[in-house]
Structure 1
Amino acid sequence: MKSPVKFLLVAAGIFGLIGSLMGAHMAGSGSYALRPIHAHILVVGWLSLF
Protein backbone atom coordinates (compact mmCIF):
# COMPACT_ATOMS: atom_id res chain seq x y z
CA MET A 1 0.00 0.00 0.00
CA LYS A 2 1.26 3.49 -0.80
CA SER A 3 2.37 5.64 2.10
CA PRO A 4 -0.28 8.43 1.78
CA VAL A 5 -3.06 5.86 1.51
CA LYS A 6 -1.87 4.02 4.59
CA PHE A 7 -1.52 7.30 6.50
CA LEU A 8 -5.08 8.37 5.64
CA LEU A 9 -6.53 4.99 6.61
CA VAL A 10 -4.72 5.07 9.95
CA ALA A 11 -5.80 8.69 10.53
CA ALA A 12 -9.43 7.78 9.76
CA GLY A 13 -9.26 4.92 12.25
CA ILE A 14 -7.74 7.09 14.96
CA PHE A 15 -10.26 9.90 14.49
CA GLY A 16 -13.10 7.37 14.40
CA LEU A 17 -11.91 5.77 17.62
CA ILE A 18 -11.50 9.13 19.38
CA GLY A 19 -14.96 10.27 18.22
CA SER A 20 -16.57 7.02 19.33
CA LEU A 21 -14.91 7.16 22.74
CA MET A 22 -16.04 10.76 23.19
CA GLY A 23 -19.60 9.77 22.27
CA ALA A 24 -19.57 6.86 24.69
CA HIS A 25 -18.26 9.10 27.46
CA MET A 26 -20.90 11.75 26.78
CA ALA A 27 -23.68 9.15 26.77
CA GLY A 28 -22.43 7.62 30.02
CA SER A 29 -22.05 10.90 31.84
CA GLY A 30 -25.20 12.52 30.47
CA SER A 31 -23.32 15.70 29.58
CA TYR A 32 -23.55 16.70 25.93
CA ALA A 33 -21.44 19.85 26.10
CA LEU A 34 -18.81 18.39 23.75
CA ARG A 35 -21.34 17.25 21.13
CA PRO A 36 -20.12 19.63 18.36
CA ILE A 37 -16.51 18.58 18.88
CA HIS A 38 -17.51 14.91 18.86
CA ALA A 39 -19.41 15.34 15.60
CA HIS A 40 -16.60 17.21 13.85
CA ILE A 41 -13.98 14.66 14.91
CA LEU A 42 -16.13 11.91 13.38
CA VAL A 43 -16.56 13.97 10.18
CA VAL A 44 -12.78 14.48 9.90
CA GLY A 45 -12.28 10.74 10.29
CA TRP A 46 -14.87 9.97 7.66
CA LEU A 47 -13.58 12.56 5.18
CA SER A 48 -9.99 11.40 5.53
CA LEU A 49 -11.08 8.15 3.84
CA PHE A 50 -11.53 10.13 0.62
Structure 2
Amino acid sequence: MEKFLKFVMARWLARTPLGLIVLGIGWFLTRRRGRQRAQRDQAERTGRRR
Protein backbone atom coordinates (compact mmCIF):
# COMPACT_ATOMS: atom_id res chain seq x y z
CA MET A 1 0.00 0.00 0.00
CA GLU A 2 2.86 2.38 0.85
CA LYS A 3 4.49 1.86 -2.55
CA PHE A 4 1.19 2.58 -4.25
CA LEU A 5 0.75 5.82 -2.30
CA LYS A 6 4.31 6.90 -3.16
CA PHE A 7 3.58 6.17 -6.81
CA VAL A 8 0.36 8.19 -6.78
CA MET A 9 2.08 11.10 -4.99
CA ALA A 10 4.93 11.08 -7.51
CA ARG A 11 2.50 11.07 -10.44
CA TRP A 12 0.55 13.95 -8.90
CA LEU A 13 3.71 16.01 -8.21
CA ALA A 14 5.11 15.35 -11.68
CA ARG A 15 2.24 17.29 -13.25
CA THR A 16 3.70 20.70 -12.40
CA PRO A 17 7.17 22.23 -12.73
CA LEU A 18 7.26 22.96 -9.00
CA GLY A 19 6.32 19.36 -8.29
CA LEU A 20 9.18 18.15 -10.47
CA ILE A 21 11.57 20.32 -8.45
CA VAL A 22 10.24 18.80 -5.22
CA LEU A 23 10.66 15.29 -6.63
CA GLY A 24 14.22 16.10 -7.74
CA ILE A 25 15.19 17.41 -4.31
CA GLY A 26 13.66 14.36 -2.63
CA TRP A 27 15.47 12.03 -5.02
CA PHE A 28 18.79 13.79 -4.39
CA LEU A 29 18.42 13.68 -0.60
CA THR A 30 17.42 10.02 -0.67
CA ARG A 31 20.45 9.09 -2.77
CA ARG A 32 22.77 11.09 -0.52
CA ARG A 33 21.41 9.51 2.65
CA GLY A 34 21.68 6.02 1.13
CA ARG A 35 25.26 6.64 0.05
CA GLN A 36 26.23 7.86 3.54
CA ARG A 37 24.59 4.83 5.12
CA ALA A 38 26.43 2.47 2.74
CA GLN A 39 29.78 4.09 3.55
CA ARG A 40 29.09 3.85 7.29
CA ASP A 41 28.12 0.18 7.00
CA GLN A 42 31.22 -0.58 4.97
CA ALA A 43 33.45 1.17 7.52
CA GLU A 44 31.88 -0.87 10.31
CA ARG A 45 32.46 -4.11 8.42
CA THR A 46 36.13 -3.31 7.80
CA GLY A 47 36.65 -2.02 11.34
CA ARG A 48 37.59 1.52 10.32
CA ARG A 49 36.26 4.55 12.12
CA ARG A 50 36.25 8.14 10.93
**TM-score with structure 2 length normalisation?**
0.60
For structure 2, the 5+ residue unaligned runs are: 1-12, 14-18
The share of aligned pairs that are identical, in percent, is: 9
Shift of 1:31: 1.3
**Structure of higher CA gyration radius:** 2
For structure 1, the 5+ residue unaligned runs are: 36-50
* Equivalence map 1:3-22=2 (5 Å): 3-22=20-39
Higher RCO (C-alpha under 8 Å, 6+ residues apart): 1
* Aligned residue pairs, count: 33
Tell me the C-alpha RMSD between the 2 structures: 0.8
Runs of 4+ in 1 over 2 A off after TM superposition: none
